[in-house]
Structure 1
Amino acid sequence: MAHLESQYLSRQANLFTWLTSASVACLVIANVIGVKLFSYDLGSFKVEHTAGMLTFPITFLITDLINEYYGSKAARRVAIISFVMGLLVFAVIRIAQSMPYLDAPFNVSQQAFDQILGSSAGMYLASMTAFLIGSLADITLFGWIKRLTGTKYVWLRATGSTVVSQMLDSFVVTYLAFSLFRRVGGGAGAEPMPFDAVLKTAATGYILKFVISLALTPAIYAGRAMIRKYFNMQPLPPE
């Protein structure tokens, strides 16, 4: 029987481990804090969205850096790992909710626990599905643009792939959570959202993501500079 021996991980392998872990953490955090909505009044325009948006810039940066330095296969693997870990978190939370409650003054109330961690199954699964579809679309578009432009125009493949894929992400999560899953699940107080309202709601979220994507373009160049300096890595050629 073969035995594995302790192995030294290179700096490049360690970086991949950290990026993968950060991707998983961002997805889990987004789904946990996503039950809270925020509102910023910018005068003639009001920004209203879920707090899960906070991790979007980090996820955007991680996906493109992995794609740039480890390739599309590695990026897809990280997206799938993040998705599966998100499902694991969902399952464990549901099990914890169903466990018998200890009625004691020092215990958190079941209602408070459910309010914080018990977001609707439809919303959670819609978010997870949209994440996976959006991530795979982003990775595919990133590689396609890179094959067309070579190693030039980093901003085009990084920002362009995200801008397009997030349009898909915004529509999928809104349609599934507020229309399709409500039609399937039914129940009082869960009327399906009309399709025109789905498009309007998705557009609002997409505009915010679009602005963030453009604003984060310099972060891609900063990330590339750090990886080149501290990890001695060069971007992979077009696949």
Structure 2
Amino acid sequence: MQLQEKIYVFLCALFVVLIVVSNLVYQKFVYLPIFSIYTFELSVGAIFYPVTFLITNLISEFYGKEKAQFCVRLATSINILVLCIISFMGYLQATTWSKIDNNTFDSVFGAYSVSLFGSITASYTAQMIDIRLYLLIRKLTNNKYLFLRNLSSAISLFIDTSIVVIFVTVIGVVPYEQMISLIFNSYLFKLFFTIATTPIFYYVVYFIRSRN
């Protein structure tokens, strides 16, 4: 296997892991202080989620639209598979001596199946828009202004954040009075993360190009 293929497989695997884990842990909401400047209130699932857009940007940059879209479709398929496995496990009755009883299991994973629809819809739509937008900006700028292509994710992230937060509010995971605040905090964090990791994006692009 060539190095370029290994990098692509690694990026796809990391993308799938981040998507699945983000969906599994989204029900926990935390305070996340940043340099004592601002404290975000957001789902733990949103903390590393912006990395997925950095990954699809990298794949779009070096491997093109088809392989980037394949990665997104693969993550969607794996999410559905995880849903089926968790649903089956939830259907089985816990033993009388199990430390995790049925109610505890359901309280942690019970809303996963319901929320997954909104999450998959939002993630799939936003990622596909991001891939097309990234490549469009690349074409319009004649392959210049790498930072601008990376920051284009901010538009897709807003779409994703809004859909997910509204959906989990409707199904009762988030109180209605927290919805606007959560959209604001989640998007602000993702925007901050995207800007802050732009130097990392530059470095990874340089690293991959130097290995060609």
Fold conserved between structures, TM > 0.5: yes
Is 1:227 matched with 2:208? yes
Q: Deviations over 1:141-169 (max 9, x none)?
A: 1011011002110000111x211101111
1:207 aligned residue (185, 188, 193): 188
Find the residue that maps to 1:146 and give its secondary structure. helix
**Identical aligned residues as a percent:** 26
How many angstroms does 1:85 deviate by?
0.7
Structure 2 unaligned segments of length 5 or more: list them: none
Q: Which amino acid aligns with 2:141?
A: T
TM-score, normalising length from structure 2? 0.89
1:56-71 mapped onto 2 (5 Å cutoff): 56-71=49-64
Mapped partners of 2:66, 2:57: distance in 1: 13
Counterpart of 1:185 in structure 2 is none
Residues 150 and 198 in structure 2, CA contact (< 8 A), matched pair in contact too: yes
Mapped partners of 1:54, 1:190: distance in 2: 18
Is 1:170 matched with 2:161? yes
How many angstroms does 1:99 deviate by?
1.2
How many angstroms does 1:109 deviate by?
2.4
Is 1:104 matched with 2:97? yes
How many angstroms does 1:225 deviate by?
1.8
How many angstroms does 1:198 deviate by?
4.8
Structure 1 unaligned segments of length 5 or more: list them: 1-8, 183-188, 233-239
Mapped partners of 1:59, 1:132: distance in 2: 11
Q: Which amino acid aligns with 2:201?
A: I
Find the residue that maps to 1:46 and give its secondary structure. strand
Is 1:150 matched with 2:142? yes
Residues 170 and 202 in structure 1, CA contact (< 8 A), matched pair in contact too: yes
Residues 27 and 55 in structure 1, CA contact (< 8 A), matched pair in contact too: no
Mapped partners of 2:45, 2:109: distance in 1: 13
Residues 65 and 224 in structure 1, CA contact (< 8 A), matched pair in contact too: yes
1:6-85 mapped onto 2 (5 Å cutoff): 9-40=1-32, 45-85=38-78
Please identify, of 34-43 and 48-57, the stretch whose mean Cα deviation from structure 2 is larger: 34-43
Mapped partners of 2:126, 2:82: distance in 1: 20
How many angstroms does 1:193 deviate by?
4.2
Find the residue that maps to 2:40 and give its secondary structure. strand
- CA 1:44–1:216 in structure 2 vs 1: closer, same or farther (change >3 Å)? closer
Mapped partners of 1:31, 1:122: distance in 2: 11
- CA 1:191–1:151 in structure 2 vs 1: closer, same or farther (change >3 Å)? closer
Mapped partners of 2:39, 2:29: distance in 1: 13
Mapped partners of 1:100, 1:145: distance in 2: 53
Residues 23 and 112 in structure 2, CA contact (< 8 A), matched pair in contact too: no
- CA 1:120–1:224 in structure 2 vs 1: closer, same or farther (change >3 Å)? closer
How many angstroms does 1:118 deviate by?
2.9
Please identify, of 201-210 and 61-70, the stretch whose mean Cα deviation from structure 2 is larger: 201-210
- CA 1:46–1:54 in structure 2 vs 1: closer, same or farther (change >3 Å)? closer
- CA 1:12–1:132 in structure 2 vs 1: closer, same or farther (change >3 Å)? same
Aligned residue pair count: 211
